A and B are shown apart, each in its own frame.
Chain A
Amino acid sequence: METKKLFLVDNDDIFCFAAEVLIKSRNLAHEVARFENGLEALNALKTLVDSPDELPAILLLDLNMPIMSGWEFLDEIKTGPEIFTKKIAIYILTSSIAPEDVTKSKDYPFLEGYITKPLTVEDIDRVSAK
């Protein structure tokens, strides 16, 4: 079985701890890489441009983060190498239930989905089924 990689971009340590346990327990991914903000994740992705097999299959993205927010990260991805949006299933994973955020997410057609916290087993199974 191939090793499935997942990027978790969120500055909330507690959430990341719980999410990682949940993800692994449901076998959504075998390897979870954590990033504090959009910039860290973007930099990590950039180093993998030439080795697409190393790219994560799934990226879970928080919106509210310092340095580079989730939106800013998406703007970078939008204009970046096509391989990112092709290879990676990107999900917004946020505590925001503001309708304007849901609406704004429609501006990024390459997004796989919009998940609101708390992250549940059902959410993970849904991602896994795709």
Chain B
Amino acid sequence: MNTKKAFPFKLVDNPFPLVIVDSTLTIQECSVETLAFFEIDDSAQPMHLKELIGESYKIFLESTENKKKQIETISIFSKTEKQRWIRTACYPDITNSHFHIYFDDVSDEISQYELSMRAKRIAKIGSWKVDLVKNTLIWSDITREIHEVPNDFVPDLKMAINFYKEGKHRDKINNAVSACMEMAKPFDLELIIVTAKGREKWVRAIGEAEVIQGEVCGFQGVFQDIDKIKREQLRYEILNNRMRAAIEGANIGIWDWDIEKNDLIWDENMFTIFGIDESQFKAAYEAWESVVHPDDKENAVEEVQMALDGIKEFDTEFRAIKGCGSIAYILGRAIVFRDEEGNPLRMVGINQDVTKARIKDIRARRLLEVMEKQNVKLTNFAHVVSHNIRSSSSNISMLSGMLLDNTSNDRTLEFIEMINKSAEKLEETISDLNEIVKIQTTDSLDLYQIEVRSVLESVIESINALVVESKAEIRIDIDRSLRVWGIKPYLTSIFLNLLTNSIKYRSPDRKLLVNIGVEHSDNQTVIAFNDNGIGIDLKKNGQHLFGMYKTFHSNKDAKGIGLYIANNQMEALDGRIEVKSSVGQGSTFYLHFKK
């Protein structure tokens, strides 16, 4: 034993664990009791505090540095791997060069404290006690309540075990109870019981043997209803597993929002999806809100609120503005976790970038719309065209057949003339058809800014003879600078059709007056052609007005193609044509151009 200093009273004789160390915590002296306290062999003299209390020694370097008294409770493990709590008190001696360290085992106090704390935390705890000597089992009121048996119910050990669900649950409790009885081994299990009322319930059963003179004479423990917590936990585990499976493969981000602390955690994928640098992210709800597209924010925030209020699960789509400024379509789904009173605690969810699919979807839908429109048009078109072609061709076959059969008698020349007329009409129909097909196939053309007035003037010039002959007066109230989006041949054709219609259907009772003006609205320029002609009965003919080969007057020149073409051309310019008219007073055609 290392006893350098000759004090009258030897330190080593102290009946309690005590060491003297220097400022580096190297042991100078050590009481005999210390060795037994730390279960150290007599032959192996400890040289440093580290050998007694392990890495915890570092705490005391502070004490030796500051020459201050310090008391700490530290945890060590015994040779039998049992946890021990050691209160360690370090005092500087009068010279301040050495320190006295006392040890005291406070394990019992600590474990009792811990147990009582646990009991406080956990509600719905019952207790039970088995006395093997008297062969009795006592249940507390709460234990009976958990089993759903009446208060006067008297259980025995076998009955108690039979409450556990048959199979692995009952096997486990059987094994645990046997081990506790035979080897005093404590147990702490989470198992399912089937209550007296037949309900399945998760419980936690904790048991400890009571040992007197080395003999197990009974055991006791606590019994707790953990059904709700356990089920929630299992649900969460299942969800977690499902999510993990879903994430593999798809580009899905996961978020977890602690609602009380407003702590929002994003996984790596989330940062990729939103194009945000992880270091820039403020882990709070507001951080998410700030990336949602302004137009979608109201709805998205409402969806969150509805999920929190339990009205519906969070399942929505919104646009997000990514860090780089581009827009992403995000699919969001989430689940809210609640406490026992139903208050939301956590919200866990996924976000998936569905931009590619969404854009494809939008394109497909647009394409479909165009196709459907086109299809209806083409069906109509085919119907009407076939009718007109058939009219001419059947006339030709009828006339020529009669010629051959000599039904024509002496009117051969007349018949040939008729055949010729029919052939011309057929040709005309085919050329109309060509005209219309041209419009429909130039649908996606680039539009130009066209000067309206100069186009109008050249159209009037081209029909000058007709204007003069009909004594029409045409007034243009349009500024020379007015331009609309269009292409010149279409505008020329539309203007020509409207003007020749006005002349064709002028009133025989008055001089024809055509006024051409312009009106402006927020997003449209409207050119209006107003005349004082015979007018159109819109109630009767309105729906057919812009149809193909539709005529509304007994005028022999009417072909029913002009307005059909004009309407198609306006549609091709992304505009539209409208009409107001009253019989006997005149008509006004409005050409709406996009601004």
Instruction: Name A residues whose Cβ lies closer than 8 Å to a Cβ of B.
Output: 12, 14-15, 17-19, 21-22, 25, 36-37, 64, 66-67, 95-98, 117-121
B407 touches A95 (CB 8 A): no
A18 touches B390 (CB 8 A): no
How many Å from the CB of B508 to the closest CB on chain A? 18
How many Å from the CB of A23 to the closest CB on chain B? 10
- With A66-B554, A118-B395 as given contacts, are A22 and B402 in contact (CB-CB < 8 Å)? yes
- With A14-B421, A117-B390 as given contacts, are A21 and B407 in contact (CB-CB < 8 Å)? yes
Residues of A near B553 (CB, < 8 A) are 66-67
A118 touches B398 (CB 8 A): yes
B552 touches A67 (CB 8 A): yes
Most buried by A among B402, B411, B550: B402
Could you list some 21 contacts between A and B, CB below 8 A?
A14-B399, A15-B391, A15-B395, A15-B398, A17-B414, A18-B398, A18-B399, A18-B415, A21-B411, A25-B409, A64-B549, A66-B551, A66-B558, A95-B387, A95-B390, A95-B391, A96-B387, A118-B394, A118-B397, A118-B398, A119-B398
A21 touches B387 (CB 8 A): no
Residues of B near A36 (CB, < 8 A) are 554
B366 at the interface (CB under 8 A from A): no
Residues of B near A98 (CB, < 8 A) are 383
B387 touches A14 (CB 8 A): no
Residues of A near B391 (CB, < 8 A) are 12, 15, 95, 117
Q: Return the 10 tightest CB-CB contacts between A and B, nearest first.
A: A118-B398, A118-B394, A117-B394, A66-B551, A95-B390, A95-B391, A25-B407, A14-B395, A118-B397, A14-B418
**Mask for B389-427, Cβ within 8 A of A = 1, else 0?**
011001101110110010111010011001001100100
With the chains together, A120 CA to B421 CA distance in Å? 20
With the chains together, A21 CA to B422 CA distance in Å? 17
User: Chain A: which residue is nearest B551 at the CB level?
Assistant: A66
How many Å from the CB of B548 to the closest CB on chain A? 11
With the chains together, A36 CA to B224 CA distance in Å? 99
How many Å from the CB of B117 to the closest CB on chain A? 86
Residues of B near A96 (CB, < 8 A) are 387, 390
Instruction: Name B residues whose Cβ lies closer than 8 Å to a Cβ of A.
Output: 383, 387, 390-391, 394-395, 397-399, 401-402, 405, 407-409, 411, 414-415, 418, 421-422, 425, 549-554, 558, 560
A17 touches B418 (CB 8 A): yes
How many Å from the CB of B1 to the closest CB on chain A? 120
With the chains together, A119 CA to B414 CA distance in Å? 18
- A97's contact among B390, B411, B550, by CB below 8 Å, is which? B390
With the chains together, A35 CA to B303 CA distance in Å? 69
How many Å from the CB of A63 to the closest CB on chain B? 9
Most buried by B among A21, A119, A121: A21
A21 touches B408 (CB 8 A): yes
With the chains together, A30 CA to B393 CA distance in Å? 27
How many Å from the CB of B543 to the closest CB on chain A? 13
Residues of B near A14 (CB, < 8 A) are 395, 399, 418, 421-422, 425
With the chains together, A18 CA to B554 CA distance in Å? 22
B398 touches A67 (CB 8 A): no
With the chains together, A21 CA to B549 CA distance in Å? 28
B397 touches A66 (CB 8 A): no
User: Chain B: which residue is nearest A68 at the CB level?
Assistant: B540
User: Chain A: which residue is nearest B537 at the CB level?
Assistant: A67
User: Chain B: which residue is nearest A63 at the CB level?
Assistant: B387
With the chains together, A18 CA to B402 CA distance in Å? 8
How many Å from the CB of A88 to the closest CB on chain B? 24
Residues of A near B549 (CB, < 8 A) are 64
User: Chain A: which residue is nearest B419 at the CB level?
Assistant: A14
A118 touches B401 (CB 8 A): yes
User: Chain B: which residue is nearest A65 at the CB level?
Assistant: B551
How many Å from the CB of A22 to the closest CB on chain B? 6
Residues of B near A95 (CB, < 8 A) are 387, 390-391, 394
Residues of A near B560 (CB, < 8 A) are 66
B554 touches A67 (CB 8 A): yes
- With A14-B418, A18-B399, A121-B405 as given contacts, are A66 and B387 in contact (CB-CB < 8 Å)? no
Residues of A near B408 (CB, < 8 A) are 21
How many Å from the CB of B137 to the closest CB on chain A? 89
How many Å from the CB of B540 to the closest CB on chain A? 9
Residues of B near A22 (CB, < 8 A) are 398, 402, 407
With the chains together, A37 CA to B555 CA distance in Å? 12
How many Å from the CB of B401 to the closest CB on chain A? 7
With the chains together, A21 CA to B407 CA distance in Å? 8
User: Chain A: which residue is nearest B396 at the CB level?
Assistant: A118
With the chains together, A12 CA to B418 CA distance in Å? 11
Residues of A near B402 (CB, < 8 A) are 18, 21-22
With the chains together, A22 CA to B402 CA distance in Å? 8
How many Å from the CB of B459 to the closest CB on chain A? 26
User: Chain B: which residue is nearest A37 at the CB level?
Assistant: B554
Residues of B near A12 (CB, < 8 A) are 391, 395
